[in-house]
Chain A
Amino acid sequence: EVQLVESGGGLVQPGRSLKLSCAASGFTFSNYYMAWVRQAPKKGLEWVATISTSGSRTYYPDSVKGRFTISRDNAKSSLYLQMNSLKSEDTATYYCARHQGSPNWFAYWGQGTLVTVSS
C-alpha cells in the first residue's frame, strides 16, 4: 500500500524558513517523480513543485520559484520542501504527492501538513 506521510509544518513568522519532509513507503521511491501541492484554508489546490526520479530536474510555478526548493533522498525514500522567505500567502496545507507514468498527474496523496505564516 502506497503511504506518504508529511511532517514539519507549523507556525512560522513572515520572512523565515521552514523545511517539510515526506516519508514514502509501499513502493520503490526512486522510480517515481514526486511533487508538492498546497491548499490554502478553504481554497483550491495549487501545484508547488515536481522533482524527477534522480533529483536532477525540478519544476516550480512562478509563485514559489526562487524561494522554494524541492529535493529527495532516494536512499531514505524521502521527499523534502525547503521554503524560504515565507509570506502570509504561503499559509496552506502542503500535500506530498506521487506522480505516475508521464509526470503530469497526481496518483497518490499524503494527508498533508499545515504551514501557517503569521507574526
Chain B
Amino acid sequence: DVVLTQSPATLSVTPGERISLSCRASESVDTYLHWYQQKPNESPRLLIKYASQSISGIPSRFSGSGSGTDFTLSINGVELEDLSIYYCQQGNSLPYTFGAGTKLELK
C-alpha cells in the first residue's frame, strides 16, 4: 500500500501569512494526489485534485504543487476559517490511501 506522510502534524498560524503543508508518498503516485479540508464536526471537502488542479468554489488562496512523491498544499494568506485538518489522498493505486492529516491551529 502507498503510505502518505504529512508534515507537520500541527501548524500554528497567524492570519494573513502564507503557509505550506507537505505530503510525501512512499512511492510515486504521478499526479494522482488530492487534497481535502475537514473543518471541526464537518465532512471532508475536496480542495485540490491531481496535485494542482483547482476546484470550483474553492478560494484562490489554496493551491497545490508537486508530482511523483513530493507534494505541497499552499495557502496564500491564511484566514480564520481555514483552521481545519488537511488530508492528502492518493488515487494512483488501490487501495486508495490518505495521509494522517495536518491540523492548522491559531498561534
* Residues of chain A whose beta carbon lies under 8 Å from any beta carbon of chain B: 37, 44-47, 50, 59-62, 95, 102, 104-112
Does B98 sit within 8 A of A, measured CB to CB? yes
Note all chain B residues with C-beta closer than 8 A to A106.
34, 36, 44, 46, 89
Complex alpha-carbon distance, A105 and B36, angstroms: 10
Interface 1/0s, chain B 32-52, versus A by CB < 8 A?
Answer: 101010000001111001100
Does B95 sit within 8 A of A, measured CB to CB? yes
A-B contact pairs, 18 of them (CB 8 A): A44-B100, A44-B101, A45-B87, A45-B89, A47-B96, A50-B96, A60-B95, A61-B95, A104-B32, A104-B96, A105-B89, A105-B91, A106-B34, A106-B36, A106-B44, A106-B89, A108-B46, A112-B43
Note all chain B residues with C-beta closer than 8 A to A112.
43
By the criterion CB–CB under 8 Å, are A107 and B46 in contact? yes
Note all chain B residues with C-beta closer than 8 A to A104.
32, 34, 91-92, 96
Tell me which residues from 78 to 106 in chain B have a Cβ below 8 Å from any Cβ of chain A. 87, 89, 91-92, 94-101
By the criterion CB–CB under 8 Å, are B45 and A46 in contact? no
**Helix, strand, loop or mixed for chain B's interface?**
loop
By the criterion CB–CB under 8 Å, are B43 and A95 in contact? yes
By the criterion CB–CB under 8 Å, are B98 and A105 in contact? no
A-B contact count (CB 8 A): 51
Q: Looking at the complex, which one of B89, B95, B96, B101 makes contact with A62 (CB distance below 8 Å)?
A: B95
By the criterion CB–CB under 8 Å, are A44 and B32 in contact? no
Tell me which residues from 12 to 66 in chain B have a Cβ below 8 Å from any Cβ of chain A. 32, 34, 36, 43-46, 49-50
Q: Looking at the complex, which one of A45, A60, A102, A111 makes contact with B98 (CB distance below 8 Å)?
A: A45
By the criterion CB–CB under 8 Å, are A44 and B96 in contact? no
Note all chain B residues with C-beta closer than 8 A to A37.
44
Please give me the residue from chain B that is nearest to A110 by CB atom. Answer: B43
By the criterion CB–CB under 8 Å, are A44 and B98 in contact? yes
Given A62-B95, A102-B91, A105-B46, output 18 extra A-B contacts at Cβ < 8 Å: A44-B98, A44-B99, A45-B44, A45-B87, A45-B89, A47-B95, A47-B97, A50-B96, A60-B95, A95-B44, A104-B34, A106-B34, A106-B44, A106-B46, A106-B89, A109-B44, A109-B45, A111-B43
